[in-house]
Each structure stands twice: as C-alpha cells, then as structure tokens.
C-alpha cells in the first residue's frame, strides 16, 4: 500500500491512476465529514466532488510541507464553511420555505433538527464555526484542530466553549 | 451546558458506506474534462479577442495610401470675373503667358515671329500705361 505522498508524487509526474487511488483512499472520510454537516448523502457527495475537483487542480503544486490528511482537512473545512455561508443566504432569501428534513432528523423529532443546528452554526463567527465543524463533523481532538487551523489548542477550546454557549442560546435548549 | 455539548457531539454519524467509488471517480473525471474544455474555449476566445482588438487598434490591413483630391487652388485663373480677382492684376497673368509663348516660338525656330510677339507685347504695355 503506497502512502499519500508517494501517490501525490506519482500524480505530479503525470500518473492519473495515482490520483484515483488517492481519492479512493480518502473518499469515505470526506463524504462522511460532509454527511455529518448536510445530513444528505447526495449533498455530501456533491461537496466531496468539489473537494476532489479542487485537489485535482491544486495538488500539482503540493509542497509536502504537511501531511496530505491535514491538507485535505483544510480543503474540507473551507468547502464546508462556504457551503454553510451559502446556505445561510439561501435561508434568508427563502424564508417562506419549510426546512427540509434530512435523513437522520426523524430520530430527533422533538429536539432541534440537524438543519437548525447547522443553520445556527452558520451564524457563528468564523473561528468558532471552524472549530465546531471540526469537533462535530470530524470528532477531532483539540490538538489536531490546532494543527489544521494553525491556532493554539487553548484558543480552539475557548472558541468551542463560546460557540456552544451561543448555540445553546439560539436553539433554546434547556 | 455539558449536556448540550454532548448532544452536539453525538450528532456525529458514521459515513455512508454505499458510495460507489468508481461512479464517483467517473463523475469527477467528466467534470475535470468539462472544465478543461471550458478553459480551452475561454483561452481561445480571449486570444481571438486580443487579435481582433490589436488589428482594430493598429488598423491592420487597411489601405495606407490616402485618397488624393485633385483640385486647383488657383481659382483666379479660371474665374477672372469673380470677386476674388478684384485685387489682382490680370496683366501679370497675360505677361507670363506671352513670355511662355515667346519661348516656345524660339524653341521651335520661329525667330522673327518671336520678335514680332515681343514688340506687340511692348506696344501693349505702353498703351496700358
């Protein structure tokens, strides 16, 4: 089994099958990450397509300064962030539409739905939003969040704490 | 607060395993090739636009020779009765014409005719004075 950096090197040398192997290796995690945010498999696959499409273009300039996983987390994070912001505007512009129930929302009928949670997350300040995405969607420890985002571990904890307090207030959770 | 935090974190779910990686890759490659085609079209369009703009700016292919307008600025010789000729003396023009005729006669070898013409001119000048 070849590691990510070897596959990237091969891809940079023109071997497209190496890129396919790389995608296959990280596809499940990437779709899982987006599935936790969107709650919709199709939307998660579309976002994963966006991520790997971006990687197809930018991986040729990959400088091997960090692990591919960290790089991929960053791309995932940016894509999720953009999606949440885009959705926030959609919600503002389509106020008359009833919120769509996602595949897992039926489990939580009497509580706030996944959509409500992520709509609330979209309203958070950028740093807090990033930490929440990584904690909730990826179950990342603070140490890894700090590595991916470049912030200190303590800062990540504080941001998450503030985010949780805001979310609790907005979702009227007693 | 802690309960709420746990509730949020419990929202994590396992990724769906039924994704067909080959289908995903096929769609990805289609998208990549579409993007390449689009990029090629855009680059070609931009090149064409630049060439057309350059040719328009430099007027490439346009004839360089300007249209010549032939007209006689010296209207006095044609329209001697017009008001332009009021301040000019028609004798000046006659004199030059007569001298030219005299040179012509000399070149042609009509010596006596030339002398006669010059005499005539002299007489005319005296009359005019």
HEC states along A106-167? Answer: HHHCCCCCHHHHHHHHHCCCHHHHHHHHHHHHHCCCHHHHHHHHCCCHHHHHHHHHHHHHHH
pTM for the structure as a whole = 0.63
Positions of chain B with pLDDT under 50: none
Give the tokens for residue B73. Answer: 């600025």
pLDDT at position B99: 78
**A31 contacts on B by Cβ (under 8 Å):** 15-16, 19
Flag whether pLDDT at A110 surpasses 50: no
pLDDT at position A55: 93
Residue the block writes with tokens 């509580």: A111
- CB of A124 within 8 A of CB of A169? no
**B4 contacts on A by Cβ (under 8 Å):** 164, 167-168, 173
Cβ-defined contact of B13 to A167 (cutoff 8 Å): no
3-state secondary structure of B94: helix
| In chain A, % of residues over pLDDT 90 | 28
Give the tokens for residue A161. Answer: 């704490």
pLDDT tens by residue, A150-173: 889 999 999 999 998 898 888 876
Residue of A23, A139, A167 lying closest to B12 (CB–CB):
A139
Q: What is the CA radius of gyration of chain A?
A: 17
Nearest in space to A31 (alpha carbons), one of A39, A20, B23, A131:
A39
What ipTM was estimated for this complex? 0.73
């Amino acid at each position: 089994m070849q590691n990510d950096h070897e596959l990237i090197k091969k891809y940079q040398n023109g071997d497209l099958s190496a890129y396919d192997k790389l995608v296959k290796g990280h596809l499940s995690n990437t779709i899982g990450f987006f599935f936790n945010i969107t709650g919709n498999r199709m939307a998660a696959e579309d976002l994963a397509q966006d991520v790997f499409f971006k990687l197809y273009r930018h991986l040729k300039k990959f400088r091997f300064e960090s692990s591919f996983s960290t790089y991929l987390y960053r791309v995932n994070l940016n894509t999720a962030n953009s999606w949440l912001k885009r959705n926030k505007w959609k919600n503002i512009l389509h106020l008359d539409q009833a919120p769509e129930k996602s595949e897992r929302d039926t489990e939580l009928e009497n509580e706030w739905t996944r959509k409500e949670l992520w709509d609330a997350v979209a309203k958070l300040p950028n740093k807090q939003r990033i930490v929440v995405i990584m904690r909730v969607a990826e179950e990342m420890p603070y140490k890894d969040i700090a590595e991916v985002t470049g912030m200190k571990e303590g800062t990540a904890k504080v941001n998450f704490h503030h985010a949780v307090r805001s979310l609790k207030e907005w979702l009227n959770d007693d | 607060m802690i309960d709420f935090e746990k509730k949020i974190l419990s929202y994590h779910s396992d990724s769906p395993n039924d994704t067909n990686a080959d289908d995903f890759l096929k769609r990805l490659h289609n998208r990549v090739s579409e993007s390449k085609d689009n990029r090629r079209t855009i680059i070609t369009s931009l090149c064409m636009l630049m060439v057309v703009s350059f040719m328009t700016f430099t007027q490439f292919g346009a004839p360089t020779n300007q249209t010549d307008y032939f007209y006689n600025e010296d209207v006095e010789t044609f329209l001697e009765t017009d008001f332009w000729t009021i301040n000019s003396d028609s004798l000046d023009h006659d004199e030059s014409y007569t001298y030219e005729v005299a040179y012509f006669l000399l070149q042609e070898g009509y010596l006596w005719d030339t002398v006669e013409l010059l005499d005539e001119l002299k007489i005319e000048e005296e009359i005019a004075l």
